[in-house]
Structure 1
Amino acid sequence: MIPSLLRGSLRLRLLAGTLFWIAASILVAGWGLGGLFRQHVAAQFHAELRTHLDQLTAQLALDEQGRPQLTLPLSDPRLSRPYSGYYWQVDGVGDVAARGAAAAGLLRSRSLWDHVLAVPPDTPADGEIHEHWVVGPEGRMLGMVERSVRIDETADGKPRTFRLIAAADESLMSEPVRRFSGVLWAALGVLGAGLVIAALVQVFVGLAPLRALRSALGKVRSGETQRLEGDFPAEITPLIEEFNSVLAQNAEVVERARTHAGNLAHALKTPLSVLANAADGREHQGSELARLVADQIGVARTQVDYHLARAQAAASTRVPGARTALLPVVEGLVRTMRRIHAERRIELAVLPFPEALSFRGEAQDLQEMLGNLLDNACKWAVRRVELSAQASGATLTITIDDDGAGLAPEQRDRVMRRGVRADQQVPGSGLGLAIVDDLARLYGGRVELADSPLGGLRAVLTLPAVQ
């Protein structure tokens, strides 16, 4: 599911990659900095213990009875405060230790109070310093360092060996690390949040030209403009130029197709007219061949008109940016139909609709479709023809009603075919509705026939609208 989302969205792909590396960097930085600080605090902790141990070693001496004593107290005042967390202790080794329990804790810091440190039995060799963890007062864990010291200058001439210990509460090392880790992760969290916000801003700002490009493409599709226009970054400008070049080339191809279609119409109509005139002269003389030629010339003209109209419409539907206001086309066609059918005194009414309604296509195609439907309605109407229009989203619906005789449901599909006429007495080629249907389908629309509230036939033309 997630990989498919990433493949389908450039924004999600950029955000996922950026957030992954931000999270990885934050975690590595937190782990690394926390480890470095932990090592630094541990080094300071043991360095301070060694300082106490060195002072203890320097101040250790024997009195006249051969008992260990300190010539001067150690400098750190915490060693004199009970259970302060800093301690030292002197144990006897060798002949001193042979005396029993008294050898442990011969001398102790005041901070130990009445507690004696229980240290590991292994005694370090001369010159060595050992580090251990032991349990201290109140059950607290202590970190300790120790060394053995041998004193040769004694009253009885027998050398004495002592075990010197300096210890400190483990919390004195762990607590700073814990506080630092809390502050560190809080700071890294704030940094990470800032980086995430920066990444979001960067992605949305960086992809803003694509949203502008989408808007520009929408204007081309809706017919507001014939080319992509706007202020785009240098990285997108070549794409815009190439796309505008394709649009211009496409429009040129369509125009060329229309020109060729017009040339073909003129090229065919001239010889057809010559043949028709020749056949007409012979037809008056009763020539059966002349009548046959005249009929076939009429069929040829009908087919040429139909296929040329279809070819021109097919070419125009490929042109992006086509936009035609509905109201001017309707008004022009209504004026034309009133003149054509003036003798029949047909009342041609246009019901009010928004002036902003527009067809997403070429004006001549809209005129062709509405002209055929209006002409057909006027031919069959008794007194009144009504035209109404409305838009719903991307769909434009135009309805034309007449008060004529109408059509039975079984005849409606048949009259949509090429060359089929509902009544041979009414002039026409039988191509009007077929052309309307083909044009509407080329634009992704349709035309439907139904019963009209006026009593005749209703034609509903559905076409793409400009949103």
Structure 2
Amino acid sequence: MPLLAITARASLRLRLLAGTLFWIAASIAVAAWGLGGLFGDHVAKQFYAELKTHLDQLTAHLAVDAQGQPTLTSALSDPRLRLPYGGLYWQVDEIEQAEPAAAPAAGSLRSRSLWDSVLVVPPDAPADGEIHQHRLTGPADRTLGVVERVVRIDQRPDGPARAFRLIVAADERLMREPVTAFNSALWLALGVLGGGLVIAALVQVLIGLAPLRKLRAALGQVRNGDAQSLAGDFPAEVMPLVDEFNAVLAENAEVVSRARTQAGNLAHALKTPLSVLANAATGRDDELSRLVLGQVDTAKRQVDYHLLRARAAAAVRAPGARTPVKAVLEGLLRTMRRLHAERPLELLLQPMSETLVFRGEVHDLQEMLGNVLDNACKWASHLVEVAACVDQGSLLICVDDDGQGIAAADREAVLCRGVRADQQVPGSGLGLAIVDDLAQLYGGELGLADSPLGGLRVLLRLPRGDAAAQIR
């Protein structure tokens, strides 16, 4: 139950359905109880009204013959009264005048339907003119509904009136069976009605929440890079949310663009005086010139590093950016073949899917892969292999070389800024550090391992930007 409650709170669909289904079930239960009760009361009233009609007929036809015995001037019309144990009975008992509170005498007159049975009623007879209504056990131990009255007949003008207790009874099954049949039909009808209401509620919830599914699809397009804003027709209740979200996207895009512009302006503002200092120190062979050139070179590398990191951080916050991987790798490998044309290097790109997409800016992917490939080409003897695939839901790019590799104890150190594995190889010591920082900004990671080719394997894990990644 706690899990169901948590799920219902977390899902708007479940909350709507739970509330609707509860009220449908409650309404059907109340309707069944109310209609069943009303019909039961109606049948009961009809049942006893019919008994009173028979009692009136019995009263009208009761007489005393010449021998002083009670008799009927004509038989009652209902055929059940002539069928043994037919379910409808009447009986006439004479009440002794001397003992009005005592039990009546044995039934002196009764319907053929009673056969050899006698209706045993309570000793207390109703007052003259009153009709009593009660229940008793009749033939075959059936429960009977009973109405009775006392009538008095003057046999002789000078003698006392004789009192007779008139009883009409019927099997209560005649009352219960219609109620049972009605309740069965009622529950069936209400069940069909409830099923229809449940289907209507499901359809209503699905149709009512359809704009939210459409909104989710539009958000997926923005995230995948297929759109720069939410587009489409949405209900009036959802449009304010769409407008606000589009405003946030536009503002965020403006912030990213301004950050890139400021980064470029800062780069030009710093590189110009650094170039002037470098030109001024060039051509002189003294200690001050060498110091200036070294510090200018360090400053340039640090400026490039931090500007690149700032630009990447702004790009990560930009929604919708994605870059096809294969095209970038093919372009970089062509560039590396020209840069290292003086060496007998073979650069191989393993077959990969055209749908592999990096969720990020193309410049950042080129920066990361360019540094990794350049580092592999510098260290490789003859061969560099590049492969890309989907691994554990993310994009994995592997770069292998057949060089000397890096000892496991030294791999963590080369990811630090300014650290170079070999001072004899040209470089600034910032390449892998930049790649590591950029990968972490995108939620990825850079790893180093032994290559099957004998050298170093660089593993670059980055977020995917294709549609399958969003569905997952």
> Which sections of structure 1, spanning at least 5 residues, go unmatched?
none
Matches within 5 A, 1:91-170: 91-95=93-97, 103-152=105-154, 154=156, 156-170=158-172
Residue number in structure 2 paired with 1:313: 312
Moved more, 116-125 or 342-351: 342-351
Q: Which amino acid aligns with 1:386?
A: E
Deviation by residue 1:120-174 (Cα, 9 ceiling, x = unmatched): 1011111111111112122211111111112235265321111111111111111
Secondary structure at the aligned position of 2:34 is classed as helix
Query: Counterparts of 1:172 and 1:144 in 2: how far apart (Å)?
Result: 13
Q: CA deviation at 1:384?
A: 2.1
Q: Give the Cα separation in 2 of the matches to 1:344 and 1:137.
A: 118
Question: Structure 1 stretches (4+) deviating beyond 6 angstroms?
Answer: none
Q: Which amino acid aligns with 2:108?
A: L
What displacement does 1:385 show? 1.7
TM-score (ref. length: structure 1): 0.94
- Give the secondary-structure state (helix, strand or coil) at the position aligned to 1:103: coil
Instruction: For residue 125 of structure 1, give the secondary structure of its aligned residue in structure 2.
Output: coil
Aligned match for 1:279, one of 270, 274, 281: 281
Which residue number in structure 1 is paired with residue 455 of structure 2?
A: 456
Between the two proteins, what is the percent identity of the paired residues? 68
Distance apart, 1:268 and its partner CA: 0.9
The answer (yes or no) to whether the contact 1:416–1:437 under 8 Å persists in 2 is: yes
Deviation at 1:221, TM superposition (A): 2.3
Instruction: Give CA deviations for 1:261-315 in whole Å, capped at 9, x if unaligned.
Output: 001111111111122222335x43x2x3333232222211111110000001111
Aligned equivalents of 1:216 and 1:360: distance in 2? Answer: 17
Distance in 1 (CA, whole Å) between partners of 2:33 and 2:245 is 51
Query: Where does residue 370 of structure 2 map in the other structure?
Result: 371
Are residue 446 (structure 1) and residue 445 (structure 2) matched? yes
Give, in whole Å, the separation in 1 of the partners of 2:361 and 2:49.
90
Deviation at 1:102, TM superposition (A): 8.3
Residues 1:88 and 2:90 aligned together: yes
Q: Deviations over 1:19-61 (max 9, x none)?
A: 2111111111111111111100100011001111111111222
Cα contact 2:103–2:123 (8 A) shared by 1: no
Partner of 2:195: 193
Match of 2:427 in 1: 428
- d(CA) in 2 for partners of 1:335 and 1:5? 54
Q: What code does the residue aligned with 1:216 have? A: A
Are 1:215 and 2:217 an aligned pair? Answer: yes
Which stretch shows the higher mean deviation, 76-85 or 247-256?
Answer: 76-85
Secondary structure of the 1:114 match is coil
1:332 Cα offset (Å): 1.6
* CA drift at 1:244: 2.1
Q: Residue deviations 1:306-351, cap 9 Å, x none?
A: 0000001111111121110112211221222122222224222222
After superposition, residues 196-345 of structure 1 pair within 5 angstroms as 196-280=198-282, 283-284=284-285, 286=286, 288-345=287-344
1:196 deviates by 2.1
Q: Match of 1:403, as an amino acid?
A: D
Question: Paired residue for 1:12, among 11, 14, 36?
Answer: 14
Residue identity in the other structure for 2:359:
R
Displacement after TM superposition at 1:435 (Å): 0.3
Cα distance in 2 between the residues matched to 1:220 and 1:77: 84
The answer (yes or no) to whether the contact 1:97–1:103 under 8 Å persists in 2 is no
Q: Is the 2:403–2:454 contact (alpha carbons within 8 Å) kept by the matching residues of 1?
A: yes
CA RMSD of aligned residues (A): 2.0
Q: Runs of 5+ in structure 2 lacking a partner?
A: none
Look up the SS of the partner of 1:400 in the other structure: strand
What CA distance in whole angstroms lies between the structure 2 residues aligned with 1:135 and 1:420?
107
Show the counterpart of 1:182.
184
Shift of residue 205, structure 1, vs aligned partner: 3.2
Alpha-carbon shift at residue 219 of structure 1 (Å): 2.8
Q: Which residue of 1 aligns with 2:409?
A: 410
Give the whole-Å Cα distance in 2 for the aligned partners of 1:101 and 1:383. 126
1:401: how far off?
A: 1.6
- Is the CA contact 1:64–1:155 (under 8 Å) kept in the aligned structure 2? no
Task: Report the TM-score when normalising by structure 2.
Answer: 0.93
- Displacement of 1:97 in angstroms is 7.0
